[in-house]
Structure 1
Amino acid sequence: MGQGQQERVATSLAGTVSEEISASLAPVDAELERRYPGDPGTRQPVHTVYVPGDAFTADTIRSWGDQALVALDEHAPDAASFAAVLGLPDDLAEAVHDRVRAKLEREPIEDLRVDFEDGYGPRPDAEEDETAARAARLITEACEKGTAAPYMGIRMKCMEAAVRDRGIRTLDIFLTGLMKAGGLPDGLVLTLPKVTYPEQVTAMVRLLEAFEKAHALEPGRLGFEIQIETSQSILATDGTATVARMIQAAEGRATGLHYGTFDYSACLGVSAAYQASDHPAADHAKAIMQVAAAGTGVRLSDGSTNVLPVGPTEQVHDAWRLHYGLTRRALARAYYQGWDMHPGHLPTRYAAVYAFYREGFEQAAARLARYAGRIGGDVMDEPATAKALSGYLLRGLDCGALDIAEVARLTGLTRTELEGFAAPRRGDLTASAK
Structure 2
Amino acid sequence: MRVTLGDPLALIPGFEQAHREQTATYPPVSPEEMGWQPVHTVYVPADRFDAGTVAAWGEAALDLMRRHLSRKDTARFFEMHEQTARAVHERVTAKLAAEPVEDLRIDFEDGYGGSPAEEDGHAVRAAEAVAAMHAGGTLPRRWGLRVKSFADGDPARSVRTLDAFLTGVVERAGHLPPGFVVTFPKVLMRDYLEQFAACLAALEKGLGLGEGELRFEMQVEAVQTLRFLDAGLAAALGGRLAAAHFGVFDYTASCSLPPHEQRLDHPACDHARQVMRAAFAGTGVELSDGSLAAAPASDDRYAVRNLWWRHVSLIRHSLADGFYQGWDMHPAHLVSRYVAVYHFHLSRYDEYLGRVRAWEERRAAEGGTLEEPATIRTVAAALRRADLALGNA
Q: Which category of TM-score, normalised to the shorter sequence, fits these structures? A: over 0.9
Q: Which residue of the other structure, out of 14, 22, 36, is the alignment partner of 2:26? A: 36
Q: Which moved more, 1:323-332 or 1:87-96?
A: 87-96
2:164 aligns with: 173
Question: Is 2:321 the counterpart of 1:333?
Answer: yes
Distance 1:234 1:325 in 2: 26
Secondary structure at the counterpart of residue 151 of structure 2: coil
Equivalent pair of 2:216/2:242 in contact (CA under 8 Å): yes
Q: Residues 193-232 of structure 1 correspond to what in structure 2 (within 5 A)?
A: 193-232=185-224
Secondary structure at the counterpart of residue 181 of structure 2: strand
Distance 1:382 1:140 in 2: 49
Cα–Cα, structure 1 residues 173 and 155, in superposed 2: closer, same or farther, change >3 Å?
Answer: same
1:319 aligns with: 307
Q: Shift of residue 149 of structure 1?
A: 1.0
Q: Which moved more, 1:171-180 or 1:244-253?
A: 244-253
Q: Tell me the alpha carbon deviations over residues 56-108 of structure 1, each in whole angstroms, 9 at most, x when there is no partner.
A: 111111111110111112212x2011322222222211111111101100110
Consecutive aligned runs of 4 or more in structure 1 exceeding 4 Å deviation: 243-246
Distance 2:371 2:160 in 1: 52
Q: Which residue of the other structure, out of 101, 105, 112, is the alignment partner of 1:113? A: 105
Percent of aligned pairs with the same residue? Answer: 39
Query: TM-score, normalization: structure 2?
Result: 0.93
Distance 1:332 1:75 in 2: 27
Q: Which moved more, 1:159-168 or 1:253-262?
A: 159-168
Q: How many residues align?
A: 386
Question: What letter is aligned with 1:43?
Answer: W
1:397 aligns with: 387
Equivalent pair of 1:86/1:320 in contact (CA under 8 Å): no
Distance 1:146 1:380 in 2: 48
Is the radius of gyration larger for structure 1 or structure 2? 1
Cα–Cα, structure 1 residues 38 and 337, in superposed 2: closer, same or farther, change >3 Å?
Answer: farther
1:275 aligns with: 262
Q: Residues 408-427 of structure 1 correspond to what in structure 2 (within 5 A)?
A: none
Q: Shift of residue 385 of structure 1?
A: 2.5
Distance 1:91 1:178 in 2: 45
1:356 aligns with: 344
Secondary structure at the counterpart of residue 300 of structure 1: strand
Runs of 5+ in structure 1 lacking a partner? Answer: 1-8, 236-240, 405-434
Distance 2:2 2:90 in 1: 64
Question: Is 2:49 the counterpart of 1:59?
Answer: no
Q: Shift of residue 244 of structure 1?
A: 5.0
Question: What letter is aligned with 1:29?
Answer: H
Q: What's the RMSD between the two structures over aligned residues?
A: 1.8
Q: Which moved more, 1:60-69 or 1:247-256?
A: 247-256
Equivalent pair of 2:27/2:283 in contact (CA under 8 Å): yes
Distance 2:207 2:13 in 1: 41
Q: Shift of residue 272 of structure 1?
A: 1.2
Question: Is 2:66 the counterpart of 1:79?
Answer: no
Distance 1:34 1:226 in 2: 21
Equivalent pair of 2:143/2:179 in contact (CA under 8 Å): yes
Equivalent pair of 1:232/1:242 in contact (CA under 8 Å): no
Distance 2:42 2:294 in 1: 15
Q: Shift of residue 180 of structure 1?
A: 1.5
Higher relative contact order (CA 8 A, sep 6+): 2
2:362 aligns with: 374
1:138 aligns with: 129
Question: What letter is aligned with 1:61?
Answer: V
Q: Shift of residue 162 of structure 1?
A: 2.7
Q: Shift of residue 121 of structure 1?
A: 4.4
Q: Shift of residue 307 of structure 1?
A: 2.4
Runs of 5+ in structure 2 lacking a partner? Answer: none
Distance 1:185 1:335 in 2: 27
